[in-house]
Structure 1
Amino acid sequence: MEPVLFYGVPHGCSFGSIVALEWLGQPYCLSRIDMLAKAKSNIYARVNSKQQTPTLLLEDGKPLSESFAILQNIAARDLNRKLGFAQGTEAHDRLNQMLAYLHTSFHSAFAPAWTAFKLKDGDPAIKMLRDLAREKAVEGYAYLQSHLADRQWLAGDSKTIADAYLIGIARWGEDLQLFDLKREYPGLHGYLQKLEADKAVIFAHAIEDGQPAITTGQFLGHVELDEIETCLAA
């Protein structure tokens, strides 16, 4: 079978893995997971016991979780695409360093705001959590804008899996109404707008929003969880 990416809505960090798969240009399928659903899927629990996204179900039926690992798996499928670099090279180390920063420090900065998002209106903890998230994310946005000041892409001479991952999480500042990126970080905003014009990014937005999506890669369609159960049982 082709690899299947389980992506989370709303606005999961799995967005970056969809973009990377489109850039890769090899056949793949998607499976949609509602991360706000009160009732969790027993089928998906067999794919990812933590019920988190993304998860990439590999061709041999074994699951691979965590964005860092999934993105590196995607990049390694065809190094000629230059989405990643050969193990042991300086370029690979630079890419890993950036991915590690995005996957830990920057991603985690928004955790308090996502917790606030799930609380009922009027909960006194909401403001405290949102203030904490903004305080933590400020440093990340400032660092990324500075890093991009003299370069076109995060970790190479062309776009890589780091750029794919960033576009999926940098949007959270505005999604959660914590930042006005155009006003506060105009340099970073310009870089993000360049990515937003990319056909793979447009495709990933349409997929998340449940709208008609035009692939420029080799997207084969969505797979329902009951179909996945059959694959797991085989």
Structure 2
Amino acid sequence: MIPILFYGVPEGCSFGSIVALEWLGRPYRLCRIDMLQKPELFTRIAPVGESPVLITSEGRQLTQSIAILNHIAAHGLEMGLGHRQGSPAFDDLNRSLAFLSTSLFSAYSPLWFSLKYELDGPSQAALRHQAETLVRSAHQKLEKTLLQDRTWLSGERIGVADAYFAGVARWNDYHKVFDWSEFPKAQALLQRLQQDPAVRFAHDIEEGREPAGAGGFRGHVSVAEAAAELGLAEPA
């Protein structure tokens, strides 16, 4: 089957998986999920109830961004998207992905929680203060370690860690936590990524357009269509 990536809006971290699939260039489809009002059928397809979810060409279900990005990278070794497992370059890539997931992604969690549950007053202020501290700390560590002496997070070439960064780093523009001038290396990386055709493609996808892409994109499928293909019936 042609793989299906379930991606979340608004501002989902699944953005990075769309970018990586574009770089890979192999056929794939997308299924759009509103993560603030998840359809019941999606939770039957993916009981974890989170995006992204990748249905592979073998029909296997793969969840969690790091696992999906490493899966894509493993199919694009000759393109430099990933590295041979056990090599120093692979370990370095995994370190970057883990940092982005555990430190940078998690730092924004209080803000997304506040938005999802429409908190206001003291609760919102407390969560925002917590998030601002965490987000700034994560970017300080990013500048001092992963971006200290390199152009791309994945090493000498653009790769899947950069794709993931493109999806998570833009959350600052959404939540207005800090001015990018505070973190010039991270800002420069994000600006370089914003010029990449695959990143622009992913933005177009999230904004509801149907761009042509690099050739691998085979269009959207609905949740119902994906469920039928996977042998799951609509809920009674």
Whether the aligned pair in 1 keeps the contact of 2:45 and 2:227 (CA below 8 Å) is no
Number of the residue aligned with 1:219: 217
Report Cα offsets for 1:154-209 as digits up to 9, x if no partner: 1211011100001100111221111221x211221111101001000000001001
Letter in 2 for 1:184: E
Q: Does 2:171 match 1:156?
A: no
- CA RMSD in angstroms comes to 1.4
Identity %: 45
What TM-score do you get using the length of structure 2 for normalisation? Answer: 0.93
Shift of 1:105: 1.7
Find the aligned partners of 1:151 and 1:162 in 2 and give their Cα distance: 13
Per the alignment, do residues 87 and 122 of structure 1 end up closer, same or farther by CA in structure 2, a change over 3 Å counting?
closer
Shift of 1:51: 1.1
Q: Which runs of 5+ in 1 are unaligned?
A: none
Number of the residue aligned with 1:26: 26
Find the aligned partners of 1:117 and 1:45 in 2 and give their Cα distance: 21
Letter in 1 for 2:150: R
What TM-score do you get using the length of structure 1 for normalisation? Answer: 0.94
Number of the residue aligned with 1:201: 199
Q: Which runs of 5+ in 2 are unaligned?
A: none
Find the aligned partners of 2:91 and 2:177 in 1 and give their Cα distance: 32
Whether the aligned pair in 1 keeps the contact of 2:7 and 2:15 (CA below 8 Å) is yes
Find the aligned partners of 1:113 and 1:176 in 2 and give their Cα distance: 8
SS in 2 for 1:69: helix
SS in 1 for 2:82: coil
Number of the residue aligned with 2:45: 47
Find the aligned partners of 2:119 and 2:104 in 1 and give their Cα distance: 26
Per the alignment, do residues 3 and 212 of structure 1 end up closer, same or farther by CA in structure 2, a change over 3 Å counting?
closer
Whether the aligned pair in 2 keeps the contact of 1:21 and 1:217 (CA below 8 Å) is no
Number of the residue aligned with 1:91: 89
Letter in 2 for 1:164: A
Question: Which range moved further: 61-70 or 148-157?
Answer: 148-157
Question: Which range moved further: 164-173 or 138-147?
Answer: 138-147
Whether the aligned pair in 2 keeps the contact of 1:119 and 1:126 (CA below 8 Å) is no
Regions of 4+ moved over 4 Å: none
Find the aligned partners of 1:214 and 1:143 in 2 and give their Cα distance: 37
